[in-house]
Amino acid sequence: MAQKVEEKSIWDKLGTIDYRYVYITFLILLLIPIVRPIGIPMKIGQVTMDYYNTMKNLPKGSIVLFENWVDLSVWADTGPIVVATFNCLWDIPQDKGIKIIMFQSSMDGTIKVPSLLKKECKPPQWRLDTYGTTWVDLGYVGGLTEAGLAALALDFKNMITVDSRGTPLMDIPIIKEVAARSEPKGVLNAYDFDLYIWGSWTCTVPDTYVRQFWTAGSPAYKLPQLFMTIANCVPNAAPYYGSDKPFRGYIPGAAGAAELELLSGHPGEGVKMADMNDLGGVGSVIFLILGNLAFFGKKLTEKKKE
């Protein structure tokens, strides 16, 4: 005589979902932002707002010094900051007359930045047409120890002789124009800039940049800065942050980059990672709820049978 098979209750079915369906669900949730970032709303931190607004609200004719911070060993966490910062700068309207002088402080930068400028961080056409007059890439600048930074702040010719295209430094129109802003005329130094954007994941470096570009000089340079970094370095950056302090804003890692991407309207790798984290969390909560429903539903059913 055939044995009667007891039909499974809905709670039993919930509690024994095939794990392959769980894996497939998470795979789909994580693939969605990779294919197309959603930009799930998030709270934007004040430091990110200040970072963004400092660039957006630059006075007409401001000069920006941008040290392209590229370290491929931490690119997943820091790369989105560099890309988002580039896009914020390129979004500044032409009629504001903002000039950008940039350089790379790592060999990784000499590899990565030319590629970025052709793809994710491609300048608008009017910038491309005015290379050398509205912006310039000075290429790789090595030896930026504290002594090197001090020499750079004093006179760029101490550390740089040509731009990335081989043009002698003082033959570049933008360099000659900016170097004539302050005394001594014809010398490009920290006094000639209105904003310095730079980055590092060495948490003691902020002290060095503050010393050499804020407190050094006679009178002091007092050059406002934006800092790109990782989350671990926030305690070192926070004391220097404020409207009357060296750092007008800072971005701590990919999470901060996601906020900056949303603010600027350029969703990229930061938003992708944030979306993946959020959707993965949604999936975890859903299966947690289902598991608890199955457990307590079964308990309640068994209790009623008794």
Q: Indicate the pTM of the whole model.
A: 0.85
pLDDT for 244 equals 94
Cβ–Cβ under 8 Å, residues 53 and 259: no
The one-letter amino acid code at 203 reads C
pLDDT for 5 equals 54
């079964």: which residue's tokens?
298
pLDDT for 306 equals 63
d(CA 86, CA 126): 15
**In the 8-state DSSP scheme, what is residue 203?**
T
pLDDT for 38 equals 80
d(CA 256, CA 273): 11
Say what angle helices 253-264 and 269-305 make with each other, to 10 degrees. 110
Q: Give how far the C-alpha of residue 185 lies from the chain's centroid of Cα atoms, to the nearest Å.
A: 35
Cβ–Cβ under 8 Å, residues 228 and 250: yes
């890309």: which residue's tokens?
83
Contacts of 284 (CB under 8 A, 6+ apart): none
**pLDDT by 10-residue block (mean), the chain, 306 residues:** 62 77 85 80 90 97 95 89 96 97 93 92 96 97 95 96 95 96 91 97 94 96 96 94 96 92 88 78 84 79 68
pLDDT for 151 equals 97
